[in-house]
């Protein structure tokens, strides 16, 4: 992870997108093949920092996301490595046909860094919330999907995306994230979950803004309830870390997923698919946006409203700890 | 440079062969987008056999010219052009559309050598071509990018996003050719969704529009020469064409956007193509 020299102090001062913009500038200096594109959101998404550093390698296409994604495909075809940025809601829906056909179908080396994801642009309302993109991007063949938990993980993800040939979708939040990592060398590896907290009673699998909250919930539950909750930061949704999910099921038998996304199709669904395929007994709960268009408000408030904050996670853990379920050894009656 | 008589004769002969191979391919495939393939055949012929710098033996040559067939449904016309040049074995055309064949209705760049971009969803190709053109600029390379658009395709808003951007970025290493055959699946373009004044639209978006007869090699050559010499504004060649050109009983008929030929129809179509092609060749010979 050469070049990553961020400190705790940076983490307090820099928004998640600023980490992205700065990291892309560092990468741009190392790799002349990197080009940038934005659709009149260069400032908001911070890809504008790259544009200022490398104006000859940056294209602001105006408010025209479809053209931006198609152009990125053409630039990738020309042997360049495009990074493009707009809000997640536009990257995943407005220009999806282009993402599908121009980039994924041809397995092109283009990186989509989508900002203002989940409910992080809470006050903008559902036109700017994006609680469908993980489901959408996960269904695109060839696509890698990463949901970093904070600024430092975003920096790691943006670098990992360069090393990973092929299409990559990185979903980050608007504004500041709670600081989960105070240094970059915590062992980020694409497709490998990070264990934030060890535990044997239950596993919470989280991504994005929910990872820090899951860790806080686990710490609190240890103190108040004496519960040992394992917390996995599942930063890569595709390809998902099946081994970590299997270990969680075998070790704890109780699994909760938590994400700033519709409960349909995202992290929870990805984990459920793995769990169902394993055929191992478990009790399971998905936390997320309950298949609705969100109310308006501040991100933190909305996370509390939908139960994907510390309190919501703690309540779900307690509920699941009290739930009875059939363990492996009781399966004799099935014969 | 105007075409020499020899060049023109060679192009006429090549286009004649390719029109017939296109018909054969539709028959092998069971059915196909014959109308739009034939309207574009002279355009593809002059690009591939006069203008584009390419080496079919080295399809990945870095400084090759690029062709993006944005009207991706005319694979039955585009694949014969590539096969005849040697990008792949022409025998493969006999398995067109068959299960497991690399050749489907819309050509896939990951499966078919020489295809620069997988297209099929309309309104994508100009953006991809513009990316290629700007990629050449970023890399300091001299390749040119040619994008073939359908006229009905110009209903797509994304085409105009890309047109605006191509003019804004002064992408004069990009040449747009609109196959103006005036037909789309559901009817004549002007009845389904009016495009006129189409040249004015391109002009308003910052292009230099050049309206020419899309079945006249001299006219096409003049327009492509002008496009390649453009300095300030990219050129959009609006090629006036006939859907199904060369087959008398389908020419100009929007219902032949897509179709199939039984043995009788195929024989009649081939006869018609022969008459049409030979007349053009005779004219080129000055007979």
With respect to residue A189, please indicate whether it lies within any of the assigned structural domains. Answer: no
Containing domain of residue A34, as a range?
A: 8-171
According to the 3-state scheme, what is the secondary structure of B39-90? HHHHHHHHHHHHHCCCCCCCCCCCCCCEEEECCHHHHHHHHHHHHHHCCCCH
Residues A221 and A132 in one domain: no
Contact B110 A67 (CB under 8 A): no
Residue B84, domain extent: 5-285
Question: Exposed, middle or buried: residue A223 (CB in 10 Å: 0-12, 13-18, 19+)?
Answer: exposed
Q: Which pLDDT band, with edges at 50, 70 and 90, does A327 fall under?
A: low
**Do residues B113 and A88 lie in contact, with contact meaning Cβ atoms separated by under 8 Å?**
no
Could you tell me if A154 and A220 lie in one domain?
no
Q: Please say if the pLDDT value at position A288 is more than 50.
A: yes
Is residue A63 in a domain? Answer: yes
User: Across the strands, what pairs with A58?
Assistant: A36
Q: What is the pLDDT of residues B151-209, one digit of tens each?
A: 999 999 999 999 999 999 999 999 999 999 999 999 999 999 999 999 999 999 999 99
Query: CATH no. for residue A267?
Result: 3.40.50.920
DSSP H/E element including A246: helix A242-252
Domain match, A276 and A245 both? yes
Q: Inform me whether the pLDDT recorded for A2 exceeds 50.
A: no
Determine the residue among B127, B142, B145, B155 to mutate to test chain A binding: the one whose Cβ has the most chain A Cβ atoms within 10 Å: B127
The reply to whether A186 falls in a domain is no
Predicted ipTM? Answer: 0.96
Any residues with CB less than 8 A from the CB of A300 and at least 6 apart, and which?
Answer: A309
- Read off the CATH number of the domain in which B103 is found: 3.40.50.970
Nearest CA in chain B to A95: B158
Question: Is A184 among the domain residues?
Answer: no
- Most B CBs within 10 A among A32, A71, A79, A82, hence the mutation to make, goes to A71
Residues A165, A198 within the same domain:
no
- By three-state DSSP, how is residue A295 classified? coil
> pLDDT tens digits for A28-73?
999 999 999 999 999 999 999 999 999 999 999 999 999 999 999 9
pTM for the model stands at 0.95
Instruction: With respect to residue A330, please indicate whether it lies within any of the assigned structural domains.
Output: no
B135 touches chain A (CB under 8 A): yes
CB contact under 8 A, A102 and B128: yes
Inside any domain, residue A13: yes
A167 plus A202 within the same structural domain? no
**Structural domains of chain A, count:** 2
What is the rounded CA–CA span in Å between residue B233 and residue A224? 70
Residue A271 lies in a domain: yes
Q: Do A207 and A58 have their domain in common?
A: no
- Tell me, yes or no, whether A57 and A103 share the same domain: yes
3-state secondary structure of A149: coil
Considering its fold, how many domains does chain B have in total?
1
Q: Is A174 helix (H, G, I), strand (E, B) or coil?
A: coil
For residue A62, the chain B residues in CB contact (below 8 A) are 161, 164-165, 168
Closest Cα in chain B, distance from residue A257 (Å): 36
A200 and A122 part of one domain: no
Whether residue A80 contacts residue A34, with contact meaning beta carbons closer than 8 Å, is answered with: yes
CATH code, domain with A164 = 3.40.50.970
Claim to verify: residue A210 and residue A82 sit in the same structural domain: no
Q: Of B128, B138, B158, which is closest to A73 when you measure between CB atoms?
A: B128
User: A335 pLDDT band (50/70/90 cuts)?
Assistant: very low
Q: What is the mean pLDDT of each run of 10 residues along chain B (287 residues)?
A: 95 98 98 97 98 97 97 98 98 97 97 97 98 98 98 98 98 98 98 98 98 98 98 97 98 95 98 98 94
φ, ψ of residue B187 in degrees (nearest 5): 155, -170
Let me know whether A158 and A222 are in one domain.
no
Residue A11 pLDDT = 66
């Amino acid at each position: 992870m050469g070049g990553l020299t961020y400190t705790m102090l940076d983490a307090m001062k820099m928004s998640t997108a600023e980490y992205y913009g700065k990291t892309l500038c560092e990468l741009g200096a190392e790799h002349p093949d990197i080009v940038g594109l934005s659709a009149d959101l260069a400032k908001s998404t911070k890809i504008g920092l790259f544009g200022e550093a490398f104006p000859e390698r940056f294209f602001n296409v105006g408010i025209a996301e479809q053209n931006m994604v198609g152009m990125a495909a053409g630039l990738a075809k020309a042997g360049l490595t495009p990074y493009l940025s707009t809000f997640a809601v536009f990257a995943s829906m407005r220009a999806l046909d282009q993402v599908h056909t121009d980039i994924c179908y041809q397995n092109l080396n283009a990186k989509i860094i989508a900002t203002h994801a989940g409910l992080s642009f809470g006050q903008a309302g559902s036109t700017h919330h994006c609680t469908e993109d993980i489901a959408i991007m996960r269904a695109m063949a060839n696509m890698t999907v990463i949901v970093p938990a904070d600024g430092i993980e975003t920096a790691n993800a943006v670098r990992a995306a360069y090393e990973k040939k092929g299409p990559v979708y990185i979903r980050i939040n608007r504004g500041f994230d709670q600081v989960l990592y105070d240094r970059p060398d915590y062992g980020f590896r694409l497709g490998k979950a990070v264990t934030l907290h060890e535990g044997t009673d239950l596993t919470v699998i989280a991504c994005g803004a929910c990872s820090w909250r899951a860790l806080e919930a686990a710490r609190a539950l240890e103190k108040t309830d004496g519960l040992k909750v394992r917390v996995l930061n599942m930063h890569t949704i595709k390809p998902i870390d099946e081994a970590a999910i299997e270990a969680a099921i075998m070790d704890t038998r109780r699994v909760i997923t938590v994400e700033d996304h519709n409960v349909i199709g995202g992290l929870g669904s990805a984990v459920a698919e793995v769990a169902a395929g394993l055929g191992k007994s478990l009790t399971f709960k998905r936390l997320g946006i309950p298949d609705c268009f969100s109310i308006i408000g501040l991100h933190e408030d909305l996370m509390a409203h939908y139960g994907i904050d510390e309190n919501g996670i703690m309540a779900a853990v307690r509920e699941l700890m009290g739930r009875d379920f059939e363990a492996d050894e009781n399966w004799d009656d099935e014969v | 440079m105007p075409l020499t008589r020899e060049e023109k004769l060679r192009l006429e002969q090549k286009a004649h062969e390719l029109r017939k191979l296109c018909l054969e391919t539709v028959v092998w495939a069971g059915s196909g987008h014959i109308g739009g393939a034939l309207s574009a055949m002279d355009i593809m012929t002059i690009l591939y056999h006069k203008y584009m710098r390419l080496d079919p033996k080295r399809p990945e040559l870095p400084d090759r010219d690029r062709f993006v067939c944005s009207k991706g449904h005319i694979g039955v016309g585009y694949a014969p052009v590539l096969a005849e040049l040697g990008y792949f074995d022409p025998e493969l055309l006999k398995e067109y559309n068959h299960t497991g064949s690399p050749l489907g209705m819309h050509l896939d760049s990951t499966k078919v050598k020489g295809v620069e971009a997988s297209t099929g969803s309309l309104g994508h190709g100009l953006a991809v071509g513009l990316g290629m053109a700007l990629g050449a600029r970023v890399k300091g390379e001299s390749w040119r990018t040619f994008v073939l658009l359908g006229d009905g395709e110009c209903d797509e808003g994304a085409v105009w996003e890309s047109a605006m951007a191509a003019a804004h970025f002064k992408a004069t290493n990009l040449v747009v050719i609109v196959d103006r055959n005036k037909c789309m699946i559901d009817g004549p373009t002007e009845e389904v969704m009016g495009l006129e004044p189409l040249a004015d639209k391109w002009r308003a978006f910052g292009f230099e529009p050049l309206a020419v007869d899309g079945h006249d090699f001299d006219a096409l050559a003049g327009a492509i020469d002008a496009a390649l010499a453009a300095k300030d504004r990219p050129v959009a060649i609006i090629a006036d064409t006939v859907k199904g050109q060369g087959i008398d009983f389908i020419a100009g008929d929007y219902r032949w956007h897509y179709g199939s030929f039984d043995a009788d129809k195929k024989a009649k179509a081939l006869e018609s193509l022969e008459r049409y092609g030979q007349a053009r060749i005779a004219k080129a010979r000055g007979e």
